[in-house]
Amino acid sequence: MKNNMILRTWATKLHKHLHKALGLIFTMLALTTTGSIHATTLDLKKSININNLVILQYHHVSTETPKSTSVSPKVFSEHMAFLAANYHIIDLADAITKLQNNQSLPNKSVAITFDDGYINILENAHPILKKHNFPYTVFINPAIINESRSQLTWQQIKQMQPLATFANHTLDHVHLLTNTANENNKQWLTRVMNNINQAEQIIAEKVGYSKKWLAFPYGEYNTALKQQLLSEGYIGFGQQSGAVGAFSDFGALPRYPAAGVYANLDSLKTKLDSLAMPVNDLIPVDTQYSPTQSLSELTFSVVDKDVRLTALACYFKGQKLEFKKVKNAITVSVNHQLTPGRERINCTAPSNGFPSRYYWFSYPMFTATSKGEYLD
Ligand SMILES: [Zn+2]
């Protein structure tokens, strides 16, 4: 009898506790939902870590080409062995389809790309990639293919398939943002889109498919070009750092250069492990500047609670930048007079769930000379 009483008292207590706990859970859920509606226009479900891709960018694999855009065959071989041991190499088409359909990618997915269509990709990189059975993508300039000894021929391009996929790097490697004399913005956009579409058509004729992937020469793009590309069904690839998520801007996906000073495996490892930072409400929106302009601040909000914003760090030219944080809204003080060339602000913050992995976001700036030209 006494035992029954005790049991009943415990049952009542347990019931009360459960009720409290459930109430708390519902309140938390309600808060989370309300918070996400106000915080962002991004789909939070898309910002989970499994939908994450890192794209590497190479140019030359050779000891005889410019150091800043080259890795030696030995270093390339070391990179590939490291990738084979620690990462999942994914075909770029497969990765893009999965990201756009919000399907999971294997953890630590990495895609390999080359710009410029150099013959040393076939001579020095292809055998190593073939050994590992790693698919890869080469962005080529169809007007230059066959035309110089350093470039692949269409015959060789055929031989490299299906391991290699070929895509667009413009017809002739122009600086896309340059306006020719007396050209208005509409004429400029028509001209550069003609160049891109012509290149795409030649690739379709010569290799038999048209991916509609464009790697911007020198990584240079602006908002107008990006939007036009998206409206014509293209995906753009830049050279700003960062990983790719389902929520990323497919008009200018980030890639990590892996040659020259970036070839060191210790620093490359942090990038290979990086996560796409879910950034929203970025201001300024555009990336094109004239040398008379200055940038006072960069603002954005970060919309995933896994990003440990208390440990956010932003860098510009090796210097740490000051920033203000109000909830998830960040204002970075830049105060910089723009100079001709390519510059970028990088921000990183650790993941709460994967403390050794960093969210990464990069804002590039492309500035013309006073004559309106862009530097190589
Ligand atoms: Zn290039």
| pLDDT tens per residue across span 198-230 | 999 999 999 999 999 999 999 999 999 999 999
**What is the total count of domains within the chain?**
2
Q: Give me ligand 1 centre to Cα 27, in Å.
A: 53
Q: Model's pTM, two decimal places?
A: 0.87
What three-state secondary structure class fits 209? coil
Residue 244 contacts residue 54 (beta carbons within 8 Å): yes
Q: What is the dihedral of CA 8, 9, 13, 18, to 10 degrees?
A: 0
CA distance 176 to 239: 14
Residues 199 and 306 in one domain: no
Please give the sequence-ordered ranges of beta strands (E in DSSP) within 230-278, or none if there are none. Answer: 235-237, 244-245, 256-257, 275-276
Q: Is residue 250 located within the same domain as residue 360?
A: no
Can you give the pLDDT at residue 49? 55
In a domain, 325, yes or no: yes
Range of the domain at 314: 282-367
Q: Is the pLDDT of residue 13 over 50?
A: no
Q: Does residue 2 form part of some domain?
A: no
CA angle 358, 330, 273 (to 5 degrees): 10
> Which CATH number fits the domain that encloses residue 328?
2.60.40
Output the furthest CA–CA distance in the chain (Å, rounded). 99
Scanning the chain, the segments in alpha helix (DSSP H) are 2-39, 73-86, 92-100, 119-120, 126-132, 154-160, 185-207, 223-231, 265-272
Domain boundary among 223, 242, 272: 272
- For the domain that residue 192 is a member of, what is the CATH number? 3.20.20.370
Q: How far is the CA of 76 from the centre of ligand 1 (A)?
A: 19
pLDDT digits (tens, 9 = 90+) for 322-332: 999 999 999 99
Rounded to the nearest angstrom, the distance between the alpha carbon of 150 and the centre of ligand 1 is 13
- The pLDDT assigned to 181 comes to 80
Residue type, 299: T
On whether both 169 and 310 belong to a single domain, the answer is no
Q: How far is the CA of 267 from the centre of ligand 1 (A)?
A: 23
- pLDDT at site 310: 95
In the reported structure, the alpha carbon of residue 175 is separated from the centroid of ligand 1 by a whole-number distance in angstroms of 10
CB 135 within 8 A of CB 165: yes
Q: What is the mean pLDDT of the chain?
A: 89
The CA 139 to ligand 1 mean position distance, Å, reads 8
Query: Tokens for 21?
Result: 């706990």
- The rounded Å distance from CA 106 to ligand 1 centre is 29
- For residue 256, report the distance from its CA to the centre of ligand 1, in Å: 14
33 versus 303: which is more confidently predicted? 303
Instruction: Give pLDDT, residue 90.
Output: 98
Kindly tell me if the per-residue pLDDT of 369 is higher than 60: yes
